[in-house]
């Protein structure tokens, strides 16, 4: 776990952001303590603390003194908004640029996107989908 090439604290922060986005971690839910991170993944607790500090600065987590770190209300929405922002800049723009370079008509790209959206491959439920009554996690 956390064997990637980025510094461990960045990997931990990424993992928590993903969990918040996917709903695995809900608002006001408590995150594992630095001690738990340390003993579970055999890392220095300061490393987890560093990840928490970054996430607190971003508004994803907040600290309840004497209790622990919790997911901030609205964190998911915030992360979604950021992901959406960067989606256009990081994913959509390069597509438009590439289409232009290759001389592909942008309307063909749009048509293709529409077809795809109508018949999506089997993937995880879209992030926006309302939580089913029976499927509430934790």
Partner 1 sequence: MTAATTAWGVELQHVTQRYGDVTALDDVTLTIRAGTITGLLGRNGSGKSTMGSLLAAFRRPTAGRVLVDGEEPWENERVVPGVCFVRESGDVLDDYSLKDNLAYFSGARPWFSHELAGELLDLFELDLQRKPSKLSRGKKSAFGIVVGLASRAQLTILDEVHLGLDAPSRYAFYDALLADYAEHPRTIVLSSHLIDEIERLLEEVVVLDRGRVLVTQDVEGLRAEGVSVTGPAAAVADFVAGRDVLATQRLGGTTQTTVRGALLEGDVRRAREAGLELGPVPLQDLFVHLTDPGRTGGAGADVQGADR
Q: Which is nearer to partner 1, 89 or 123 (CB)?
A: 89
Q: Which is nearer to partner 1, 41 or 62 (CB)?
A: 41
Tokens of 6: 């980025």
Contacts with partner 1: how many residues (CB under 8 A)? 16
- Residues 6 or more apart in contact with residue 42 via CB below 8 angstroms: none
* Angstrom distance (rounded) from CA 94 to CA 57: 30
How far does Cα 33 stand from its chain's mean position? 20
Q: Which is nearer to partner 1, 22 or 86 (CB)?
A: 86
Q: By CB under 8 A, tell whether 30 contacts partner 1.
A: no
Coil/strand/helix, residue 63: strand
Q: By CB under 8 A, tell whether 21 contacts partner 1.
A: no
Q: How far is CA 100 from CA 30, 107, 130, in A?
A: 47, 11, 37
* Angstrom distance (rounded) from CA 133 to CA 61: 26
Residues between 41 and 80 with contacts to partner 1, criterion CB under 8 A? 41-47, 50
Q: Which residue in the set 18, 35, 86, 137 belongs to the binding site for partner 1 (CB under 8 A)?
A: 35
Residues between 79 and 138 with contacts to partner 1, criterion CB under 8 A? none
Q: Which is nearer to partner 1, 5 or 138 (CB)?
A: 5
* Angstrom distance (rounded) from CA 47 to CA 91: 31
As measured in angstroms, the least distance from the Cβ of 3 to partner 1 is 10
Residues that bind partner 1 (CB under 8 A): 5, 7-9, 34-35, 38-39, 41-47, 50
């Amino acid at each position: 776990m956390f064997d990637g090439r980025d510094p461990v604290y960045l990997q931990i922060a990424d993992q928590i952001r993903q969990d918040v986005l996917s709903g695995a971690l809900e608002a006001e839910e408590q995150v594992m303590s630095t001690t738990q991170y340390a003993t579970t993944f055999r890392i220095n607790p300061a490393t987890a603390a560093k990840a928490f500090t970054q996430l607190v600065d971003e508004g994803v987590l907040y600290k309840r003194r004497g209790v622990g770190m919790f997911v901030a209300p609205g964190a998911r929405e915030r992360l979604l908004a950021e992901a959406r922002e960067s989606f256009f800049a990081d994913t959509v723009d390069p597509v438009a640029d590439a289409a232009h370079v290759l001389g592909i008509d942008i309307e063909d790209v749009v048509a293709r996107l529409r077809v795809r959206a109508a018949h999506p491959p089997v993937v995880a439920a879209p992030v926006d989908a309302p939580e089913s009554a029976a499927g509430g996690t934790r």
